[in-house]
Copies of this chain bind each other. A is one copy, B any other.
Amino acid sequence: MIGEVISVGTEIILGSTLNTNTYYITQRLSEIGIDVLFHTSVVDDSNLLKDVINIGLNRADILIFTGGLGPTADDMTKEVVSETLGLELELDEDMECNIKRYFDKMNRTMSSNNTKQAYKPKGSEFLTNEMGTAPGIYIEWNGKILILLPGPPKEMKLMFDKYAIPLIKQDYTIKIKTISTIGIGESKLETILKDIIQGQENPTIATYAKEGRVDIKVVAKGNDETKVDELLNEIIEKIDERIHEHIYSYDDESIEEVVYKKLKANNMKIAFCESCTGGLISSRFTGIPGVSQVFDRGIVTYSNRSKVEELGVKKSTLDKYGAVSEQVAREMATGLLNKTGVDIILSTTGLAGPDGGTEGKPVGLVYIGIATNHGSFVIKLTLSGDRLSIQNKTTLKAFDELRKII
């Protein structure tokens, strides 16, 4: 089956919105055996879009559209697809109620524009949007499949995975495992796993470099589910043997989730004190539902004064070694341990840049401190990249250390 992904929107063409949807959809379709051969983007113009649809119907079996499902006059994907296929638009009263309920819940009035979202082409199915007002649409037409999804990536991804994929999935079983690694670069990983990756047609193995970490995606296919599971487990064991210490999840979890689960299982409480990460560690951690069971507090001690007042760092230590030092990282962590009495403390202090670096203490120099009742230790990092990248890498490394010692 041949696929084409069609992005609708002038903002996509102009690049003011980065088009990440297309790659997400292509990857997910590849995983279920559909060959995506074309991507097309087109501005908001009904005549041009109509031609694009006809071209797509001519060369592909499945067309996935993103964008142009909102309430404004610019949003025309559904209308133009219906017209091109010769399908009438019908009001769906259930959907009208749903949208109305959504607005009631938000204490906002539903405008007549929003009613337009309750119409669907005759014979098509709505795909529920749990995160917004624009529902998706699934159409089977003359042996082709057309799926219309909203543009915002969060809404699109959830709908595509939860509602669209099951509708287009073929008869065989496809299982995907994502192994998440940290502390090893993509090319080194590929060298270590070279014979496993190259020898394999089923499962297939691919690496995806993310900032500061690499995912390994293993995809197994077959008619027999038990056999597929066996294939998958066999490869995962082989991979695990070679890079065990770098793997933090076999289930596509984030590293902070892994830390949260370990803390919870051990009935431990944690607190953070952050300087260079500026609250990013606390913020990532509190993105996890239920984290209040293990998280006591976080203190962003950005000024030297706050390091002294909040954490009991000695002024003499700051004067002698500077805020970015092993000593201050340690005093921050032990200070907060004494103050709170929780089981484990993590501290960060470093230079995220772009300014403030010196020869002895360049931008990218970061110390991570960890303190527990059994003692404390400090890790020194030398990181590259811009400010946000240094903050992000420090955060990943911090959670990685926590994962290892809990």
Contacts and interface: CB of A to CB of B under 8 A. Distances in A.
Interface of A: 7, 10-11, 13-17, 22-23, 26-27, 30, 36-43, 45, 48, 51-52, 55, 59, 70-74, 102, 105-108, 111, 113-114, 131, 152, 154, 178, 185-188, 190-191, 206-209, 211, 215, 217, 272, 274, 277-283, 285-287, 289-292, 295-303, 305-306, 309-310, 339-340, 352-355, 382, 384-389, 391
26 contacts: A10-B206, A14-B26, A15-B27, A39-B42, A40-B41, A70-B186, A72-B186, A102-B384, A108-B185, A111-B191, A277-B286, A278-B291, A279-B279, A279-B281, A279-B282, A280-B286, A283-B283, A286-B300, A289-B353, A292-B303, A296-B305, A297-B310, A298-B300, A298-B302, A299-B299, A306-B340
Nearest to A310: B297
Contacts of A71: 186-187
Contacts of A178: 16
Contact of A16 (B40, B217, B277): B217
B208 A16 contact: yes
A163 B190 CA distance: 31
B278 A287 contact: yes
A302 B295 contact: yes
Contact of A188 (B45, B111, B287, B310): B111
A280 B277 CA distance: 11
Contacts of A305: 296
A84 to B, nearest CB: 16
Nearest to A292: B302
Contact of A105 (B27, B114, B310, B384): B384
Given A37-B48, A206-B10, A300 B299 contact: yes
A27 B291 CA distance: 39
Nearest to A51: B59
Contacts of A387: 287, 289
Main SS class of interface, A: mixed
Given A11-B206, A13-B39, A282-B278, A187 B297 contact: no
Nearest to A30: B14
Contacts of A217: 11, 14, 16
A284 to B, nearest CB: 8
Pick the 9 closest A-B CB pairs, nearest first: A278-B286, A279-B282, A15-B23, A298-B300, A279-B279, A297-B306, A279-B283, A39-B41, A283-B283
Contacts of A301: 297
Contact of A38 (B40, B111, B207): B40
A253 B240 CA distance: 45
A190 B282 contact: no
B296 A303 contact: yes
A282 B298 CA distance: 11
Contact of A37 (B13, B207, B299): B13
A290 B188 contact: no
Contact of A285 (B278, B285, B297): B278
A346 to B, nearest CB: 13
B279 A300 contact: yes
Given A27-B14, A37-B43, A40-B39, A286 B279 contact: yes
Contacts of A310: 297, 299, 310
Contacts of A297: 299-303, 306, 310
A347 to B, nearest CB: 14
A36 B59 contact: no
